Structures are given as C-alpha cells and as structure tokens.
Structure 1
Amino acid sequence: MQTPIKIAVVGSGLVGSLLAIYLKRAGHTVHVYDRSPDIRKINFSGRSINLAMSNRGWRALDDLGLGDTIREIAIPMDKRAIHLVDEPLSYQPYGKEGECIYSISRGVLNRQMVTLAEAEGVEFFFESRVWDVTMADATLHTGETEKGPWDDLKYDMVFGADGAFSRIRHRMQRQNMFNYSQEFLNTGYKELNIPANPDGTHKLDKNSFHIWPRHDFMLIAMPNLDGSFTCTLFMPFEGENSFESLKDKETLEAFFAKHFPSTIEVIPNLVEDFFKNPTSTLVTMKCYPWTFEDKVALIGDAAHAIVPFYGHGMNAGFEDITILSQLMEQYGDDWKTIFQEYQKSRKPNADAIAELSYRNFMEMRSKTADAKFLLQKKIEKHFSENHPDKWLPLYSRVTFSFRPYAEALAIGDHQKAIMDEVMLMPDIESKWDTPEVEARILELLTAK
C-alpha cells in the first residue's frame, strides 16, 4: 500500500474508470472528472465501434477480480466470417482451439466500469469541464466556458485519461521539448445496425467477427447480447466509393445491393441509420513525454490514440494500467521513478501497436479476401502447430499473449520476410503442407 494521496483522473471512459479503481485499491482518494453527462443516464449510440477484448484487457480486469463480472456482458468470437460477393461464406479461425476475442458494447462496458468504480469509493464529477491544469502543483481548472471564470481544484497528482483530444495533453504540449503528432486516415466510419430476430436470436453467427472486405472499403459486424450486431462501415471520405458519393436513398440502396448484397435482408434500417448517424474520423496520435515530474501523467488514448483495426485501443490502454500498477508495487511512493519507468516501458509498445493497427487495416479490407494471403496463413498455422516453440503467428502474439507489442512487431517483420520467400516456392499451392515446405521454413529461421 502506498502513502495515500489525493488524485484526479480526467476522463470517465474505460481507461479512466479502470485506473480509478486501481488507484483507489492502492489507498488513494480518487476523483474522476468528465465534461459529458453520466453515461448511465444517456442513450449511447450512433458513433461507436464494438470493443474486442483480448488477453491484455482481461489481465487488467482479472488482476482486480473483475474479469468474471465483465465476461457476463461479453460474447466470444473465435473466428472471422468473410462475406464475399457471389462466393460462399468462409471462416478464418483466430488462433488455436479455445482462443477467442470478445465482443463488448462500448456503452454497456463503460456504464459497468463507472458503477464498479463508484462501488470502490471513487467519486465522479460529471458535466464538469476541465479546461487546463497547472502542472507544477497538479491544480485543475474547471468552469462553464474556456474563457472563465474557473474554479481551481488542488490535487497531489493528475492523470489525463481524456482521450485522443485530451485537454491535459494540450497543456503538456506547451512545454519545451514535447513531441506531438496526429495523422488522420482518409477513411472514416459510420455505425449501422443489424437487429435481432423476433425471438431475440442473432441473424448471423454470433461467435464470429463478420467482415465484408471490398479493398478500398469494408463493412464489419460484431455481436451484442440482445441479439443485434453493431455494424461499422469504413470508407474513404471522397472518391468513387466514398461517403461523399452516397448522397441519397437511391444511391445508397444501389451501392449496398451491388457491394453488400448479403446484408439487404438483415439491415432493415439502412437508410435511416446511414443518414442519421454521423460520419466519424480515425486518427493516430503520438506524443512524448507522457509525464511531468511526479505530478501529471497521460494514459490510454490521451497518450497514444490508434486506429481500431487490431481491436487494441482499449487493450493497450488497460495494459498501461497493468504496467503502472506493477511499477507502483515495485517503487512504492517514488512517483518520479514510477512515471519515468512507465513512459519508458510503454512508449515503444504504443508506437508498435499503432503501426500494427494501421497494417491490419490493409489486411482486413483486402487481404482477407486474397487467396495467396489465406494460403500463407494456412502454412503459418500448420508450421506453428508442428513447431510451437519456433513460430507464434503475429496475430496470436499480439492478441493471445502478454509479450510486448514492440517485440511482436519486430518478430512479425522477421516472419513476414521468411514467408515472402516460402510463397515463392514452385507449386506452393499444392505442397504447402509437405515436409519440404516445413524444412524450408526451418532453414530460413536458422539463417535469419
């Protein structure tokens, strides 16, 4: 147990709420501020992508004994379901038997996390706008408008868990030697919905992550507990097949009939949802340092916002908390060292998962429908099953292990170089599971 101090967490999202529980369990007084209303009292819909909880996220919850509570609102997905035009539905397992990721509604999980934090004794201040922080003495400045008047709220420490456009980071950016970058994809997203059957069952296989890959754009669907699916359409903002091109009911319906014919029967409110829900942006945000002395620290998206295509935004943020908690146990009250070691440990891994997430965007929208790519994955899986000590596929290393993201990226690049050579072998399509191919991979592993 550390010496109790008074800590403010700015942001009541998933990372902020979980961090508050960890800090409270460590003996501190914890206040959480959020400019939005209490999420438990509002309708949360229209601009969300369902979460994909995997091992790193579960570890952060299980370490507190909360994992089983959250599993009650999660649906396991052990495979991708690939929907191509004029071809039969195909499935791609995520990992070994029993390995799966879990679909969770962001709104449902966030409500649960706030309730769990309150049960621990964390105090929440909703509709409280934090405009600035005096970093030298951890004083928050809140008020109705950015131009004041403000109330000054003094704390011993402040955590910025307030997302990709963090106000706490905005203050830190004005320091000397603070590096910051943001990069938007030219692709946006829009939420759609597949309702449940009249009897409450799912219209599609509920234990699959459904993908309609179409090269420059794609549709995904993830299951919800009520029998519905949250769908997300990813498209360029401009161009031939883009949000800009879908201006009216007739164009939209013709577009879906051509590119997503299998959805016509299962998305009855396509037109209403499409024109009602906003088109949202996707950004990768990087910065450093993440901390200031022993007073202020960034965590989650405030420190490293990433695009959602590996399903690791939440998982990476939860792992931030796991590492921070381990350092708190190791260094006790030495918060300067805790903060320094925290950012040194997490920064390379945050950069790595950002890169991996961008690459998975390319994979999901096009390669999941590519025969050579699918053959390569079969070869990798076959070799990994025969030599589990020598080869763990990149996806499994990222999603079903606790190894550092930076290590996964480096080893993944190494494995890709090997597979690029293997795929050039003559007649690889017919002899992919032969001892000859296995021997070649072993040879390349030794050589490289």
Structure 2
Amino acid sequence: MQKPLKIAVVGSGLVGSLLGIYLRRAGHTVHVFDRSPDIRTIQFSGRSINLAMSHRGWKALDGVGIGDAVREIAIAMDKRAIHLPDKLNFQPYGKEGESIYSISRGTLNRKMIDLAEAAGVEFFFEQKIWDVTLATSTLHIGESERGEWKDLQYDMVFGADGAFSRIRHRMQRQSMFNYSQEFLNTGYKELNIPANADGSHKLDKNSFHIWPRGEFMLIALPNLDGSFTCTLFMPFEGEHSFAALTDRQKVEAFFETHFPDSIEVIPMLAEDFFKNPTSTLVTMKCYPWTYEDKVALIGDACHAIVPFYGQGMNAGFEDITVLNEFMQQFGDDWQSVFKHYEQSRKPNADAIAELSYRNFMEMSSKTADEKFLLAKKIEKRFSDKHPDKWLPLYSRVTFSHRPYSEALAIGDKQNEIMAEVMDMANIFAIWDSEQVEQKILELLRESPLDHS
C-alpha cells in the first residue's frame, strides 16, 4: 500500500476510468474530470470503431478483478471473414480457442465508469480543464479558455485525455519535449448493419468482417443486440474517396460496385453515410511522458495510433499494467515509478504505432491477395508443428504479453524468411510439403528468432 495521495485523472474514457480503479485500489483519493457530459446519460454513436479486446487488455482488467464483468458485454471473434468480390474466405486468428473480442466503445465506457464509481472513484463531468501548472500539479478549470478559471491543487495529475490532450499541450511548451503528429490521408465513417427481426445477426457473429479493396475497405464488428458496427475507411480525396461521394445515388452505386454483398444488410446506407461525420486518423508520438513526480501522460495522450491492429485500447490498458508493476516495486518513490514507466513503455508504443500503420496495408490490400493468404497458411502450418520455433506476428501482438518492440523486430525477420519461401518454385503446389518445412527450418538456423 502506498502513502495515500489526492490524484486527479483528466479524461473519463476507457484508460482514465481503469486507471482510476487501479489508483483507488492502491489507497489514493481519485477525482476524474471530463469536459464532456456523462456518457451514461447520452446516446453514443456516429463516430466509433468497435473495440477488439485481446490478451493485454484482459490482463489489465483481470488485474483488478473486473474482467468477467466486461466479458459479459463482449463477443468472441476467432477469425477474419474476408469478403472478396466473388467469394468469402475465412482466416483463423490464432490457435484453437484464441479469439479477439468485439465490444461497443460506448457500452464499455459506460460499464467502466460504473465499475470505477463502485470502487470509490469520483467523477466530475462537463468540467473543462484548460491548463495545468506542472510544478504544483494544479488544474485550471473554467467555462471558457479566455474566461475566469478556478484552481484545483492535487498531489499528482494524470493526463488520460486522448490524442489532443490539454495536459500534454502544457508539457509540450517545455524545452526538450519532443512531439509529432501525422494524419493519414484516409478517414473513416461509421455505418450500421441492424439485427434481423428476431434479434439475430445478419452475418457470422464470431468473425471480424473485412471487405478489402486496396485503397479503401469496409469492416464490420458484431454487437450484443444483433447489429454490427461497420466502418468505411477511405481516402479523403481522389477517384475513390469521401470527396467523390457527394449524393445518395453516388454512394449507392459505389457500394453496389465495390461491396455488392453489403447492400442487402445496410438498409440505411445513404442516411448513415450523410448523417455520420467523416473522422480523421492520427499517429501521435511524444517524449517525455512525465514531469518529475507530479504529472504523467497515459494512453492516447502520449501515444495515439491508427486502429488497424485493434491495439489502441489494449496498449493503453497495458500502460496501466506496467505502471502498476512499478508502483509495487518502488512504492512511494513516484519519481522512479514515472521514470521506469516511460522508459519501459516508449519503445513499445513506437513499435505498435508502426505495426498498426503497416496493418492497414495488410487489411486493405493483402487480405485479397492469394499469395498473401497462402503465406499465412504456410506460417500457420509451420507454427502448429513447431510452436517453439515460430509464433506468428499477429499472435505475438494479440495473444501474448511479450513487448511490442520484440514483436516488431521478430516480425521483420519472419517476413524476410517467408519472402524466400514464397519465391520457391511451384509454391502453390508444394506449400504443405516436407520440402517447404525443411526450407523454413534451414532459414531459421541461418537467422534464429529470439523466443525468450
């Protein structure tokens, strides 16, 4: 148990709420501030990508005993359903019994706030934090940026206020603070597949559905009520872009041409398309993440990533797991807690940012490529036979707790090996042969993977 402190968390999203529970369990008084209304009192829709909970996220939730409460609102997805123009392919995610879990962001956020309140965390909604004095961990709160502010002093402040964090904004104005943000020229828009009249799902409910079309793609993740949250990812400008779809006729013609099997299941296509906003995708990096033992950033506030590996929430939750490990190790020496936390997490945050960006290329283009799909089958066959020698990159990221930075480095080596295998003569005929297996073993002997 640490010496009890009065701690403010700015941001009542998923990471802020879970962090509140961890800090409360450690004996601290925790106040969570958010500029938005209480999400439990408003309808939440229109700009969401369903979350995909995997091992790292579950570990953080189970660490404070709330995993089972969240499992009640999650749906297991054990495979990708790849909708090609002329057929449907299924690709398992991992080994038998390994799944990622679809959860509605709004449903989870409401549940997390309820669980945090039950743990004794206090929430203050519609409270605008405009600035923070780092040296005294004092929040400055008020109706407007130019109006009168009230000062709220704490022992410590955590910025869990997302990619456009106000807490980070203050930290950025110090010298020796590195910061970058990069927007994709691809945006996204939420669409909806409603449930059947009897409440059942219109598509296979245990699949992550993808319509890969190169520069653009559609995905769909299941919800408990029988619906699917769909997300259309597309360039902002160009031949196939949001800018080109200016009226109902063009939207419907575009979907009939490129996603013909989705037309039947998205009845409100044009209405949703023009009602829901087109949102941006940003990668944000910064360093340092902490100021002395007073202020720390966590989650998207210090490492926002694009959503194509489904690891944004999982990475934010893992921040909390790691922070908590250092709280156990260093006790009341918060300066050491913060220093080790940021040094441990920064390389891994950078690695998952890179992997997430790359996975966009995989999901939008390669999942429609026969050669890529064959490489995945070869990899799965070899991994099943030699689990001690080969863990696929996706499994290393999604179904393990190994560092993201290690996954990136080993994944690069694996890609080099698979490229040589795919260059073998007549690979489509011999893919499941002893010859291919021996080739991989030989390449591994020349360039062993670190499987510590």
Tell me the equivalent position of 1:9. 9
Query: Match for 1:376: what amino acid?
Result: A
Which amino acid letter does the alignment assign opposite residue 427 of structure 1? Answer: N
Q: Which letter does structure 2 place at the counterpart of 1:439?
A: Q
Q: TM-score, normalised by structure 1?
A: 0.99
**Equivalence for 1:410:** 409
2-structure distance, mates of 1:386, 1:251: 50
Q: What whole-Å deviation, never above 9, does each CA across 1:227-249 have from its counterpart, x for those lacking one? A: 00000000000000000000001
Structure-2 residue corresponding to 1:274 = 273
- State the 1:148 CA deviation: 2.3
Task: Say which is worse superposed, 31-40 or 424-433, in terms of deviation.
Answer: 424-433
Q: Find the counterpart in structure 1 of residue 115 from structure 2.
A: 116
**Residue 80 (1) aligns with residue 89 (2):** no
Residue correspondences, number:
447
Counterpart code for 1:9:
V
Q: State the distance in 2 between where 1:437 and 1:89 align.
A: 27
Alignment of 1:27-176 (within 5 A): 27-85=27-85, 87-176=86-175
CA distance in 2, matches of 1:184, 1:264: 30
Aligned residue number for residue 392 of structure 1:
391
> Structure 2 CA distance, aligned partners of 1:390 and 1:261?
42
* C-alpha distance in 1 between matches for 2:285 and 2:147: 30
Alignment of 1:296-375 (within 5 A): 296-375=295-374
* Structure 1 SS opposite 2:132: strand
- Give me the whole-angstrom Cα distance separating, in 1, the residues matched to 2:408 and 2:419: 16
- In 2, Cα distance between the equivalents of 1:257 and 1:186? 24
Q: Which amino acid aligns with 2:359?
A: N
The superposition leaves residues 36-92 of structure 1 with CA deviations (integer Å, 9 ceiling, x where unpaired) of 00000000000000000000000000111111100000000000001111x221100
Q: Structure 2 regions of 5+ residues with no counterpart?
A: 448-452
- TM-score calculated relative to the size of structure 2: 0.99
1:31 alignment partner, SS class? strand
Q: Please give the secondary structure, in 1, of the residue aligned with 2:324.
A: helix
- The residue type equivalent to 1:444 in the other structure is L
Once the 2 structures are TM-superposed, how far is the Cα of residue 12 of structure 1 from its aligned partner?
A: 0.1
Cα deviation 1:191-223 (Å, max 9, x = unaligned): 000000000000000000000000000000000
Q: Specify the code of the residue in structure 2 equivalent to 1:420.
A: A
Identity among equivalent pairs (%): 78
SS of residue paired to 1:136 = helix
Aligned residue number for residue 204 of structure 1: 203
Q: What is the CA distance between 1:147 and its match in structure 2?
A: 1.0
Distance 1:267 1:135 in 2: 49
Q: Tell me the secondary structure at the aligned position of residue 285 of structure 2.
A: strand
Instruction: For 2:151 and 2:241, locate their aligned partners in 1 and report how far apart those are by CA, in whole Å.
Output: 46
1:247-281 per-residue CA deviation (whole Å, 9 max, x = no partner) reads 00111111111001101110000010000000000
Which 4+ stretches in 1 moved above 6 angstroms?
none
AA at the equivalent of 1:261: P
Where does structure 1 lack aligned partners over 5 or more consecutive residues? Answer: none
**Structure 2 CA distance for aligned equivalents of residues 253 and 67 of structure 1:** 41
How far apart, in 1, do the equivalents of 2:363 and 2:87 lie? 18
Letter in 2 for 1:44: F
Amino acid at match of 2:42: I
Q: Which amino acid aligns with 1:357?
A: S
In structure 2, distance between residues paired with 1:380 and 1:397: 13
Partner Cα distance (1:422, 1:250) in 2? 46
Q: Deviations over 1:289-314 (max 9, x none)?
A: 00000000000000100000000000
How far apart in 2 are the matches of 1:251 and 1:427? 43
The answer to whether residue 422 in structure 2 is matched with residue 428 in structure 1 is no
Cα distance in structure 2, aligned partners of 1:240 and 1:300: 35
SS at match of 2:429: helix
Amino acid at match of 2:183: F
Offset at 1:160?
0.2
Q: What residue is the counterpart of 1:265 in the other structure?
A: 264
